[in-house]
Amino acid sequence: MKSFQGQSLSWELQDGVVELALHREPCNEIGSTTLADLEKFASVLDGVKDEARAVIVYSALESGFCAGADLRELYQRSQNMDHGDAIKGVRDFLERIHHVMNVIDASPLTTIAAVHGVTFGGGFELALVCDLIIADKMARFCFPELRLGLIPGFGGIPRLKRDLGNGVVRDLLLTGRSFNATKAQQVGLVSQVVAEGESLRVARATAAQLKKFDRRTSAAAKKFIKPIPREELRREIDLFCELFAQPAVEAGLRKFVETTEAQPYLP
Amino acid sequence: MRTPDQTLGEILTLAATHFKVPRGKLTPDDDFFKTLGIDSLQTLDLLTRLEHHFNVELPDYELQGVSDFRTLADKIQARL
């Protein structure tokens, strides 16, 4: 399939590049709708590997790249089921999103996340599966999960650890702070920082450059340098579900959902 | 080295320019959430702009509970 228009995202294959655009208001929160669309994307990715050379993931929304998991949906769903079923539902969601993330991570195509604005939680984790992150100077990265009593659940910690020094991982994870694109480049998370509104243009130029190389060599290089930390990813799902069972999580989610303050994204 | 008053003035000018509020309407003790009418995402946008402008790093947790320009300026001044 060369193009797709879903409720939360769309993609198009043109001139050897697949562009995946996120467009779910308010800031591409990842809930069941986005997951279903991402699963469709993952299911066709292998089928376009001979026609495409690169994938660009970006947000079509001005508000940012992605604010992470849809916590409102998570909270509302968990309110309508008993505790055991809620945990089972969370595990099922995590298994599915991990499958999608692993497919994108392992794709022989070179993947580029072109990010701007809020790149938080699950959005940060989506960017981390990509081979390159090109960031608008106004991009901001954060793992705010600990303030809810959780850890990142979409593969964030193992992938961040794969890419960065453990000290930076601990700072991001344990303080829940955010940092900007310049800092992200300093620590090695982002490969290019560009002016406001320029990340997609630069990602396209980067994709055009990498198309010049032999596809098998590019795929082999990627496979060599970017192993998928499968064992740690499995343990992450188990730990997330264990933590999700704690009463503090429900209280944290309720606070997030009910707050009207202008600072809900600030830990 | 900027003086605290210069830092405060630059914050007010930056906020007024970016959020399209008349500079004269902003005072140091304003609650910037209310005066600028900004939501959480715009607050992060302001934080990032201030970091770039002053070339400092502002961990969000240091700004927890900060809502007026004067205190915000103090936090930035401490990192200049």
Q: How confident is the model at residue B58 (pLDDT cuts 50, 70, 90)?
A: very high
Inform me whether the pLDDT recorded for A134 exceeds 80: yes
Asked if A262 and B47 come within 8 Å (Cβ–Cβ), the reply is no
Asked if B63 and A182 come within 8 Å (Cβ–Cβ), the reply is no
Handedness of CA B68, B71, B74, B80 (dihedral sign): negative
Please give the average per-residue pLDDT across A106-127, as a whole number: 97
Say yes or no: B52 contacts chain A, CB-CB below 8 A: yes
User: CA of A139: which chain B residue's CA is closest?
Assistant: B48
| Contacts by residues A142-145 (CB-CB < 8 Å, ≥ 24 positions apart) | A142/A172, A142/A176, A142/A177, A142/A178, A142/A179, A142/A265, A142/A267, A142/B60, A143/A172, A143/A173, A143/A176, A144/A68, A144/A120, A144/A176, A144/A178, A144/A265, A144/A267, A145/A121, A145/A176
Q: How confident is the model at residue A77 (pLDDT cuts 50, 70, 90)?
A: confident
**Phi, psi angle pair for A21, to nearest 5°:** -110, 125
Task: Among A25, A66, A120, A178, pick the best mutation site for testing chain B contact (most B Cβ within 10 A).
Answer: A178
CA distances from A130 to A19, A114, A115, A203, A222 (A): 13, 10, 11, 12, 11
Asked if A263 and B51 come within 8 Å (Cβ–Cβ), the reply is no
Inform me whether the pLDDT recorded for B1 exceeds 90: no
Inform me whether the pLDDT recorded for A133 exceeds 60: yes
Domain B4-77 part of CATH 1.10.1200.10: yes
Say yes or no: A142 contacts chain B, CB-CB below 8 A: yes
Kindly list the residues from chain A whose CB atom is less than 8 angstroms away from the CB atom of residue B44.
117-118, 140, 178, 265-266
Q: How confident is the model at residue B27 (pLDDT cuts 50, 70, 90)?
A: very high
Handedness of CA A204, A3, A57, A28 (dihedral sign): positive
Q: How confident is the model at residue A79 (pLDDT cuts 50, 70, 90)?
A: confident
Interface A-B: count of C-beta contacts within 8 A: 61
Please give the average per-residue pLDDT across A200-228, as a whole number: 95
Say yes or no: A27 contacts chain B, CB-CB below 8 A: yes
Q: What is the ipTM of this complex?
A: 0.86
Closest CB to B48: pick one of A138, A177, A262. Answer: A138
Say yes or no: A175 contacts chain B, CB-CB below 8 A: yes
Both tokens assigned to B2: 């900027």
| pLDDT tens digits, one per residue of A180-200 | 999 999 999 999 999 999 999
Please give the average per-residue pLDDT across A120-142, as a whole number: 97
Asked if A180 and B48 come within 8 Å (Cβ–Cβ), the reply is yes
Residue B77 confidence (pLDDT): 95
Kindly list the residues from chain B whose CB atom is less than 8 angstroms away from the CB atom of residue A266.
40, 43-44, 60-61, 63-64
Say yes or no: B19 contacts chain A, CB-CB below 8 A: no
% of chain A with per-residue pLDDT over 90: 84
| Contacts by residues A33-38 (CB-CB < 8 Å, ≥ 24 positions apart) | A33/A6, A33/A7, A33/A8, A34/A8, A34/A9, A34/A70, A35/A93, A35/A96, A35/A97, A35/A100, A36/A6, A37/A4, A37/A6, A37/A7, A37/A8, A37/A9, A38/A9, A38/A97, A38/A100
User: CA of A118: which chain B residue's CA is closest?
Assistant: B41
Which domains does chain A possess? 3-258 (3.90.226.10)
Please give the average per-residue pLDDT across A113-133, as a whole number: 97
Q: How confident is the model at residue B11 (pLDDT cuts 50, 70, 90)?
A: very high
Q: How confident is the model at residue A255 (pLDDT cuts 50, 70, 90)?
A: confident
Residue A248 to chain B, least CA–CA distance (Å): 20
Please give the average per-residue pLDDT across A61-83, as a whole number: 90
Residue A82 confidence (pLDDT): 86
Residue B43 to chain A, least CA–CA distance (Å): 7
